[in-house]
Structure 1
């Protein structure tokens, strides 16, 4: 406890240094934050007094990282609005269903092919199906893609995944933890999640005039206190009814985007998003034991290959169903390929149920690889699409326009 402030200070300095390195080589900062967290985490090696592990402050840094997820999703919600998202409701439902069906089926098939028992197969399918809201949000903001046409579908799929997650955790808990999980209980859990989201969006849109008056405060201090209070209250309440707190934060952002104070909120929230967001990825690295990853290398690489295929296929089909171009559809699959916090939750559920120990290192390595590949593939999505388009010919190359023939001078009689 005596060294907690020192540890947090060192953590921030390390994060800043690797961030500068990433900026210098023009690479996504996310993998650097995760890797430096692994290097100084509780599982890192130490010799005598040369102990650079973050042990005493790990829990506090983890909590600050949770705040980072909230700020990332809240900011992403501010870039949109309830009206803009709800206009795409039908296409989002279709796209989300396509995404879940393809990736979940491939996850089950992967577990079955590798001869895992049914419980482990169900956990693996959960690990490989749900994308990371935090990484997706970070990448979209960093690459300034929030205005892209496909981003509505990406956001919709993230929300759709959360409804699936609420149902699936109920089912999996009943199977793995030998808890009673009736069909009625599962349907009730799903209804709570879906009903809360829809009700919040509808009421939030109608409440825009009231929120305009409520937030009409000159003092930035009081203004931020009120915004933060709403954010944390809704996010915390969301978790109590089996809706991820990150989705609660996204909903608050979508609602406040309807107000006249949106630009002011966006401006004031930016430093908090960047600071706590960096801490989230660092804290994620702290949880990974690098020495436990070796036995899961081939299994993780196989799962990564399956996920890359499944995500790209799902993105192309989801985009096509929404009338998006092949290029925009490819962006969907490449952007949501990252895996993170939800995959780790699934692995922890398997651990609590006494399932195979391999699940933990498998999930950690699988998530780490996709946390590195995901931002890179998103950044280079144009290049990836161009290469694949050369093979599959989704879009025909535009021919340069031929110059119009010169008109012959009209002869006089």
Structure 2
């Protein structure tokens, strides 16, 4: 622990360097943060006495990264509102079901075609189904798309995925770790997750007048302490109920977005969002072992899964968007924005490792996540180009004819 402050300082310096390079190249900053983390992680290459690996501070950086995810999702919730989300409840339920059904089915088929046993197939399907809340939140905020018409569907799918994840992990843990699972336990887990989300949204909305009154605090210091206490307590409590802590943070943001203090909270929270969010992606890179990524089996498996995910996300995004009455362009944005995979895929892969499944699952998940963590933000940034190219094939919208001068 004697070098931990120095390592944290170096980490922040490397993150800043990645940000400067990204700004100079006009390139998405997320992939650079991840790659920098990989280059200095505990698994990175080193030469004798020259050892630049981050070992002592890795656990602390992981905790700081988890805080970063909370701030990213909290801010995303602030940019939205409970009212808009509840009004779109039916569309979100339909869109979320479409998204999960298509991607999970394709993941199962991919695992089966690749010749894996049933338990490994279930793990692969989980890895390829759940998108990264942190990356999606970062991209939406960076590209200033929080007010776009498709954003409520994107947020709804993220929350719907969390309910699915609670059920899925319950089933998978029972099959892999204990060899059995209880239907009652699975249904209870799903009901608790969904009930908690709805309770926070409904009670929070009813409590807006009280929040307006009691958050009228002059001191910014005390005001932030109150906001942070609410954020961390509710996010932590949600994790105890097997709802992702990031979703708890999103719910807090959605509730506070209804108050008259939203603008003040946003202005004060942005530095924390940017700082801790950057540390999350750097810390994510630290967890990836570069030496295990490039075997023939891992590479082909990962590339195949990436192709399947791109196809599944595009089709699911189009169908979910069209059922909600969105334009083909907005529907394309849905599929491309949530294509990134991240923290949840790694959790599922680690569950497979704990159950003694095939060793290839972890390096496969790491490379698959890395590719989509890089490709996802790039595709989201260039949705206009992607849409124009696809529109030439599918003819969703005819080119506008110019009116001749009279």
| TM-score past 0.5 threshold | yes
Residue 215 of structure 1 corresponds to 215
Superposed counterparts of 1:12-411, under 5 Å: 12-178=12-178, 180-295=180-295, 296-403=298-405, 405=406
State the alpha-carbon separation in 2 of the partners of residues 396 and 167 from structure 1: 43
Residue 5 of structure 2 corresponds to 5
Listed one character per residue, the Cα deviations across residues 29-69 of structure 1 (whole Å, up to 9, x for unaligned) are 00000000000000011112211000000000000000000
State the alpha-carbon separation in 1 of the partners of residues 208 and 183 from structure 2: 38
State the alpha-carbon separation in 2 of the partners of residues 273 and 374 from structure 1: 20
Displacement of 1:392 in angstroms is: 1.0
Displacement of 1:128 in angstroms is: 0.1
Structure 1 segments of 4 or more deviating over 2 A? none
Displacement of 1:4 in angstroms is: 0.2
State the alpha-carbon separation in 2 of the partners of residues 47 and 334 from structure 1: 40
Displacement of 1:225 in angstroms is: 0.3
State the alpha-carbon separation in 2 of the partners of residues 52 and 281 from structure 1: 18
Provide the aligned length of Structure 1 versus Structure 2: 404
Task: Give me the CA root mean square deviation.
Answer: 0.7
Q: Secondary structure at the match of 1:294?
A: coil
State the alpha-carbon separation in 2 of the partners of residues 271 and 357 from structure 1: 40
State the alpha-carbon separation in 1 of the partners of residues 226 and 144 from structure 2: 28
Displacement of 1:358 in angstroms is: 0.1
Q: Secondary structure at the match of 2:403?
A: coil
Return the TM-score normalized by structure 1. 0.97
| Structure whose alpha-carbon radius of gyration is higher | 1
Displacement of 1:214 in angstroms is: 1.5
Displacement of 1:210 in angstroms is: 0.7
Displacement of 1:399 in angstroms is: 1.2
State the alpha-carbon separation in 2 of the partners of residues 189 and 48 from structure 1: 50
Return the TM-score normalized by structure 2. 0.99
Q: Secondary structure at the match of 2:273?
A: helix
Q: Secondary structure at the match of 1:225?
A: helix
Q: Secondary structure at the match of 1:177?
A: helix
Cα 1:179/1:251, change in 2 over 3 Å: farther
Displacement of 1:373 in angstroms is: 0.3
Displacement of 1:395 in angstroms is: 1.3
State the alpha-carbon separation in 2 of the partners of residues 172 and 398 from structure 1: 51
Displacement of 1:180 in angstroms is: 4.5
Residue 408 of structure 1 corresponds to none
State the alpha-carbon separation in 2 of the partners of residues 123 and 372 from structure 1: 22
Q: Secondary structure at the match of 2:178?
A: coil
Listed one character per residue, the Cα deviations across residues 231-284 of structure 1 (whole Å, up to 9, x for unaligned) are 000000000111000000000000000111000000000000000000000000
Displacement of 1:212 in angstroms is: 1.0
Displacement of 1:401 in angstroms is: 2.5
Q: Secondary structure at the match of 2:42?
A: coil
Displacement of 1:179 in angstroms is: 5.4
State the alpha-carbon separation in 2 of the partners of residues 373 and 86 from structure 1: 32
